[in-house]
Amino acid sequence: MRVTDLRPGLVLAGDVRDVSGRLLMSGGMCLSDRTIGVLKSWGVGEVHVTGEKACGLDETIGEDILAQAQDIVDARLARNDLTHPFVQEVFRLATARTALKLQQGERVLPPPVLPAAPESQEESFDLLDLDALTATNPALGAMPGVLARLAQAMESPSASPVEVADIISNDPGLAAKLLKLANSALYGFPQRIDTISRAVTVIGVQQLSALALGVSVMDMFKDIPKGVLDIRGFWRHCLACACGARALASALGLPNTERIFVSGLLHDVGLLLFILHAPKRIGHVLELVRGHGESLTSAERRILGVDHGMAGGALLESWGLPSSLTQATRHHHDPLASRDLRDVSIVHLADFLAESLVFGSGGQSVLMPVSSVAFDILDAPPGVAVTVLERVEDQLGQLESIFMHNVPN
């Protein structure tokens, strides 16, 4: 169908790519006025469509709610360059999502406008000792053998499918989760995958090892105490970042999308470490972020001596996890400092998208600015933000039911 004849509600039959094969929009996306406009602006002439569904909720939102949503997003993105085309697109999407939440009666609060907290409040805190932090908790002090074997398999091009299937099958809980994942919307395989051996064959040895590793690390934090942080909101944020990072990587034609998914899943694990070992101090940090709009990492460095990227990176490094994972965790707020600039930039941008589009929260209030280096290296067209949003909306519900069924409310 010609793009000029499209109408909201039509569904794309297949992926839309530019002349060099780069993904612009994914098949299955329900078109809206906004996405049709994006296709026109890219100069796409024709697309294949299949069927129609009701997805144009934007038009039913009143102007007062839209204005309220715009003010909230404006305040949350205040530290970002609002003239950058990608940020502008995220602003538009975030406004629409926030307006929808407000219309549905959800409480979405703007960041505070209070002045910065007085410096004297923080003087009594000692700097957090990272070595003590990992050493004092036996459960986190040493990586279980199964993780070491998965980490090795993830990095080794010659890892055997039988060996990996064996490692995973020895842990029934892990195997069950991976099978659910293999049969989820994340992959959309036409046929059911019933065994781990089959999952290794269709997803890949290194890829399934990476997923198994991520799921196992996530499981180690399942008993995190409540009260300091909304834990469900935290894991929703991590899953959205994982899913968004994978969608971004695939839209940009990059390999290793499973490894990038796991990097997204674990990027904020340092916050959990703080909750376990320094709950009062991280509680104070989060109060400053929520109550005074302070940047999360600078408040952490001031009060704890390290930020959650440094803490999470140190933990994963102490376990000997592959540097592709430790780099993303350590540097996701400053990709320029990493040795793996492209992959870390993807997690950095996916983190920003997950926070901006309010898929849970990783503890930020006024969002830290996206690194201009990340924008430069990825060169992602603004329309990719829509693709990522649609993928996360499609996949997050299933991922939550697989990963979060035992996370307390």
Check binding of 111 to Fe ion (CB under 5 A): no
Contacting Fe ion (CB under 5 A), which of 268, 307, 340, 390? 268
- Residue placing its CB nearer to Fe ion in the complex, 322 or 362: 362
Nearest approach, Cβ of residue 346 and Fe ion (Å)? 13
- Taking each helix axis from N to C end, the angle separating 161-169 and 205-220, rounded to the nearest 10 degrees, works out to 20
Which secondary-structure segment (H or E) carries 377? helix 372-378
> Stretches 90-98, 110-118, 125-133, 354-362: which one binds Fe ion (CB under 5 A)?
354-362
Nearest approach, Cβ of residue 328 and Fe ion (Å)? 10
Nearest approach, Cβ of residue 361 and Fe ion (Å)? 8
Check binding of 307 to Fe ion (CB under 5 A): no
Check binding of 300 to Fe ion (CB under 5 A): no
Spatial CA neighbour of 300 closest among 317, 309, 291: 309
> Stretches 49-57, 70-78, 131-139, 267-275: which one binds Fe ion (CB under 5 A)?
267-275
Sign of the torsion angle spanned by Cα atoms 200, 388, 317, 224: negative
Check binding of 15 to Fe ion (CB under 5 A): no
- Residue placing its CB nearer to Fe ion in the complex, 256 or 361: 361
> Stretches 100-108, 262-270, 274-282, 393-401: which one binds Fe ion (CB under 5 A)?
262-270
Q: Which residues contact 1 (CB under 8 A, 6 or more apart)?
A: 10, 46, 47, 48, 49
Buried b (16+ CB within 10 A) or exposed e, 329-345: bbbbbbbeebebbebbb
**Which residues, 22 to 41, sit near Fe ion by CB under 5 A?**
none
Nearest approach, Cβ of residue 398 and Fe ion (Å)? 21
Check binding of 340 to Fe ion (CB under 5 A): no
> Stretches 115-123, 173-181, 266-274, 278-286: which one binds Fe ion (CB under 5 A)?
266-274
Contact (Cβ atoms closer than 8 angstroms) between residue 132 and residue 318: no
Nearest approach, Cβ of residue 308 and Fe ion (Å)? 6
Residues β-bridged to residue 30: 11
Tokens standing for residue 244: 């968004």
Instruction: Say how far apart CA 404 and CA 409 lie, in whole Å.
Output: 10
Nearest approach, Cβ of residue 151 and Fe ion (Å)? 22
Contact (Cβ atoms closer than 8 angstroms) between residue 191 and residue 242: no
Spatial CA neighbour of 395 closest among 262, 215, 244: 244
Count of residues that interact with Fe ion, criterion CB under 5 A = 3
Check binding of 312 to Fe ion (CB under 5 A): no
Nearest approach, Cβ of residue 356 and Fe ion (Å)? 11
Spatial CA neighbour of 359 closest among 20, 100, 184: 100
CA-based angle 280:282:334, to the nearest 5? Answer: 165
How many CB atoms neighbour CB 202 within 10 A? 13
- Residue placing its CB nearer to Fe ion in the complex, 15 or 268: 268
- Taking each helix axis from N to C end, the angle separating 296-304 and 279-292, rounded to the nearest 10 degrees, works out to 140
Q: What is the CA radius of gyration of the chain?
A: 21
**Which residues, 50 to 79, sit near Fe ion by CB under 5 A?**
none
Nearest approach, Cβ of residue 122 and Fe ion (Å)? 20
Check binding of 351 to Fe ion (CB under 5 A): yes
Nearest approach, Cβ of residue 331 and Fe ion (Å)? 10
Q: Are strands 16-17 and 49-52 parallel, antiparallel or unpaired?
A: unpaired
Residue nearest to Fe ion (CB): 362
Contact (Cβ atoms closer than 8 angstroms) between residue 153 and residue 164: yes
Check binding of 270 to Fe ion (CB under 5 A): no
Contacting Fe ion (CB under 5 A), which of 244, 312, 335, 362? 362
Interface contacts to Fe ion, rule CB under 5 A: 268, 351, 362
